[in-house]
Chains A and B, each alone.
Chain A
Amino acid sequence: MAVSLLDKFIVVFALMLVVLAFSSWRGDSGIAMTFEIRNGSDATAFPLAQDQVISISGALGESEIEVRDGQVRFLRSPCTNQFCTLAGWLKKAGDMAVCLPNGVSLRLVGGRQYDSINF
């Protein structure tokens, strides 16, 4: 009995199973068709299919939101920390980016959304 070749194959195989599990079960495989911009209490939906740059006015000024190739991001924002722009491209349903100082948030809509799990 030793750590045989078969054992090593099994460990590699098991690693592949784990990777497979991560890629199929990571959240919900929702394809987003629209995204939603919230400005305070106003929420507007936009299609992801149309490439454009949208300007939203918030508490601090104008946030620019870019839509390209079915993805969305904060292009520019008047906040100091720039967490929103640093979030980068939003791709999957449920992905979100928020500019709290300016009061603007982006969210991709689609798939099944889990708010919480209750009995």
Chain B
Amino acid sequence: MSVDNSSSTRLRLQPQAEDYLIAKLAALAICIHVIESALPSPLPGVKPGLANVITIAVFFLYGLRAAIWVAMLRVVVGSLVVGSFLTPTFMLSLAGTLCSLLVLMLLSPLRNWGLGPLGGSVLAAMAHITGQFLLAYWLILPHEGLFVLYPPLLALSLVFGVITGLISYQLLKKTTH
């Protein structure tokens, strides 16, 4: 029995330029995420989500695929750094991120119609909180009373979506000149 170990059959994975780009952007998003999670918030679990500035900027600069990579890396690695990987918090974060990415995917064609960081950020933020509520209802608190919290948190997500959208817009203005 002979084993062929010739180097022509060995697979080599070389990081492409795109990989480095995604890694740098994801690292930036993760840093913002970790720093923001250290800041106190008046409502438990409610954060402005400033790392989404990066996700939205990536979506408009580099497209949906890049945005998905950056967002998912941020959620997973961010939770590893903070120590919440696979906790209910992580599940909520993941559900929210998946929903907001789904909305971005659905909104993709609208970029040709003038969709900008503000609009994308607002709808992604509202999708995020909606996804979190759906997961919470399904797995954590299957009681309709949960949704009493939804309208005020949805309103808050609109406000934060506008804020991160405007920051993203300023960021894009400065980087595309």
Interface residues in chain A, defined as those with a beta carbon under 8 Å from any beta carbon in chain B: 1-7, 9-11, 14-15, 17-18, 21-22, 25-27, 112, 114, 117, 119
What is the distance, in angstroms, from A92's C-beta to the closest C-beta of chain B? 14
- Interface pair A4/B114, CB less than 8 Å apart: yes
Per the bound structure, the CA–CA distance linking A7 and B122 in Å amounts to: 9
- Interface pair B122/A11, CB less than 8 Å apart: yes
| Chain A residues within an 8 Å CB radius of B123 | 10, 14
From known contacts A1-B172, A5-B114, A6-B110, infer whether A11 and B151 are also in contact, taking CB-CB under 8 Å.
no
- Interface pair B162/A6, CB less than 8 Å apart: no
From known contacts A1-B173, A11-B122, A114-B145, infer whether A18 and B115 are also in contact, taking CB-CB under 8 Å.
no
| Chain B residues within an 8 Å CB radius of A5 | 114
Q: Mark B101-132, 1 if CB is under 8 A from A, else 0.
A: 00000000010011111110011001000000
Per the bound structure, the CA–CA distance linking A21 and B110 in Å amounts to: 25
| Chain B residues within an 8 Å CB radius of A14 | 122-123, 126, 158, 161
| Chain A residues within an 8 Å CB radius of B141 | 117, 119
Interface residues in chain B, defined as those with a beta carbon under 8 Å from any beta carbon in chain A: 60, 110, 113-119, 122-123, 126, 141, 143-148, 150-151, 154-155, 158, 161-162, 165, 169, 172-173, 176
Per the bound structure, the CA–CA distance linking A25 and B150 in Å amounts to: 8
Per the bound structure, the CA–CA distance linking A119 and B162 in Å amounts to: 35
By DSSP majority rule, is chain A's interface helix, strand, loop, or mixed? helix
Per the bound structure, the CA–CA distance linking A114 and B146 in Å amounts to: 11
**Could you say which of B113, B122, B141 has the most chain A C-beta atoms within 10 Å of its C-beta?**
B122
| Chain A residues within an 8 Å CB radius of B176 | 1
**Could you say which of A3, A10, A21, A27 has the most chain B C-beta atoms within 10 Å of its C-beta?**
A10
- Interface pair A10/B151, CB less than 8 Å apart: no
Per the bound structure, the CA–CA distance linking A87 and B64 in Å amounts to: 53
- Interface pair A1/B151, CB less than 8 Å apart: no
| Chain B residues within an 8 Å CB radius of A7 | 114-116, 118-119, 165
What is the distance, in angstroms, from A10's C-beta to the closest C-beta of chain B? 4
**Which chain B residue has the least Cβ–Cβ distance from A114?**
B145
| Chain A residues within an 8 Å CB radius of B155 | 18, 21-22
Q: Which of B115, B145, B151 contacts A26 (CB 8 A)?
A: B151
| Chain A residues within an 8 Å CB radius of B162 | 11
15 contacts across the A-B interface (CB closer than 8 A) = A1-B169, A1-B173, A4-B119, A6-B115, A7-B118, A7-B119, A9-B119, A10-B115, A14-B126, A14-B158, A15-B158, A18-B155, A22-B151, A22-B155, A25-B147
Q: Which of B116, B151, B161 contacts A21 (CB 8 A)?
A: B151
